[in-house]
Amino acid sequence: MCGFAGILNFDGASVEPRRLERMAASLYHRGPDDSGIHQEGPVGLCFRRLSILDLTPAAHQPMLSGDGNFVMVFNGEIYNYLELREELERLGCRFRSHGDSEVLLQAYATWGKNCLAKLNGMWAVLIYDRQRGVLFGSRDRFGVKPLYRYRHAGGVCLASEIKAIRASGLYRGGINWKIASKFLLQGALDEGGETFFDGIEAIRPGSAFEVTPDGRWTEWSYWSMAPAQTADAGNPVERFRGLFEDAVALRMRSDVPVGVCLSGGLDSTSIICSMARIKGGMASEFGTPLLAFCYMPEEYDETRYIADTLEQTHAILKVLQMTPSGLWDRLGKFLWFQDEPVHSMTAMIGYELMGLARANGVKVVLNGQGADETAAGYFNYFQEYWRTLAMEGRIQHLWSEVGAYTALHGGHWAAHIATALKQACQWEMFRLRPYHRYITGKRQAANQANPWFRRELVSNLPADDFAGMDGRIETSLKRSVERSPLPIYLRVEDRNSMAHSVEARLPFMDYRLVSLLFSLPTEWKLRGGLNKFVLREAMRGRIPESVRSRADKMGFPTPVNKWLARDLYKPLKDILSSQEARERGIYQVDEVLKDLDRHQQGALDVSGRLFNVAQFETWAENMKQNPVPAA
């Protein structure tokens, strides 16, 4: 929901309204339903509204509190706003609107910064305290909703998207080569606060801040993930089931139609089946069936699983039809909305699915992001679990788990055991500083030897960050949520949906569910060769058994290796051999083209690396253009 930007000048100079107008214009896609500007001396706030709750003018932003002391711009949804409203009304508060925005504003006016602990939702917010002259801001616990900052000599600029900061006319930076080199050489994205734009950084998830008129910035964390620990969760399956059902129900609160992205996997199937139960059958409160949106290339057919789900939920399926060339033609526009490169071409499928949803009249879509990182859904977690068992000396349990895995997925039991034991020893050695330096040296040598890039690019690489890493599955899961890969997936999800003026809601990112999962022993996530064990048990009898018990995983994949060797070979070669790419001065262009030809011939698969270079070049050319779209 929505997009906003704000400016605070430290020298007391009035904010120029034209800057706010340009910033708001750059965010039109995030909120085509309404707009507003509040300019008061050295403070300026602008807003674009996507109407989801309370469609009346009473929910207009920037929103002024009843007593006139506070002005707010807010992007996101507070899912428990009805419960908070009742609590505030018992304290004597009165409301003029019926949505969540005024509830958030009144919660801050009543409880101050302590209100954040009461919120269940996704949000980025700025609130100007007119009496104190202080600007308060916050971002939700996991960073589902974005907020960026650019500090310059004369003040600070904040916005929902980077393009709005660029549109302000205040930005004077260029490419952040430290981040760009890490992406091109290692594929890393969104692992910290820095962005591809030098000087523009993301506000940390789970944090809040205050900025005074003279530029003093105070920032603090109001929430963090507790270290994974064994806890008495009663019956974990019943607790998870109850929390999940409530998380879905809260995210179905809407004054506009709600749909769902559906693959044949466990996560989206659990969501749509829960939605169907909550809706009470085929028809929604808007008089239309539940709509599901899907993409299935012929190489990844999940028809069987989806058919079973449709039979149970009576949902209507809308299937995305997309050719490789059609997708490629949209690359520049897609990256304009994203502001930065993405992890793979699969991200572009998500963009098209959101467009399909909007074309079918749906403004809110539920999606399954977050389940893999919190409930151990990726296959690499099995190996990390086995390594942890070896490090803890639980050898008999290790043998049993590896045996169950190989019986279900194949492979060699002895090889898995040997790898787990070897890695356990390596991590013990890793704790010693000499071995730490040895690993770092090997990675630096590999980067230096990369034939695609010149040494000048390698010299920009930041030092390896091994802080807190200990080789254990619990630490790896925590890092997956906080550093990689979840942050890039959340960024992509937000930009893909907002590009089409659609709001994406993520039930698995309900902080109560995440807290429960990180309090449970790993055995509740990985057991008997299956991942997401507690989710599977919680969904027993509630989703099709064909989906609940399936052991493989697809999501919304794309056969990009085949595409780049066939349909996209020529346009890809045109980008890689362009004058702009050669003048960039960071590539060994002939080496890249040589591997492109080898990829076409099937001698190797470098599809991911090829796409990264192609999108970086497309993004770099985008960066030269006006951040405000043409009328």
Query: CA 269, CA 265: separation in Å to the nearest integer?
Result: 6
Query: CA 622, CA 330: separation in Å to the nearest integer?
Result: 13
- Residue 567: name the closest of 329, 275, 239, 240 by CA: 329
As a whole number of angstroms, the longest Cα–Cα distance in the chain is 72
Query: CA 403, CA 396: separation in Å to the nearest integer?
Result: 11
CA atoms within 13 A on the CB side of 148: 26
Query: CA 258, CA 77: separation in Å to the nearest integer?
Result: 14
Q: Do residues 536 and 244 touch, judged by C-beta distance below 8 A?
A: no
Query: CA 47 → CA 3, 20, 171, 516, distances in Å?
Result: 6, 9, 20, 36
CA atoms within 13 A on the CB side of 38: 22
Amino acid at 260: V
Rounded (to 5) percent helix, strand, coil in the chain: 45, 15, 40
Q: How many other C-beta atoms can be found within 10 angstroms of the C-beta atom of residue 335?
A: 23
Q: Give the pairing type, strands 207-211 and 258-261.
A: unpaired
Does the annotation flag 100 for ligand binding? yes
Q: To which residue do tokens 């006139």 refer?
A: 68
Query: CA 568, CA 547: separation in Å to the nearest integer?
Result: 34
Judge whether 2 counts as a catalytic residue: yes
Q: Kindly write down the DSSP assignment for every residue of 154-200, as one continuous string.
A: TEEEEESSHHHHHHTT-----B-HHHHHHHHHH---SSSSB-SBTTE
In terms of DSSP H, where are the helices of 187-252? 236-250
So which residues are the catalytic ones? 2
Binding site as annotated, residues for L-glutamine: 100
Binding site as annotated, residues: 100
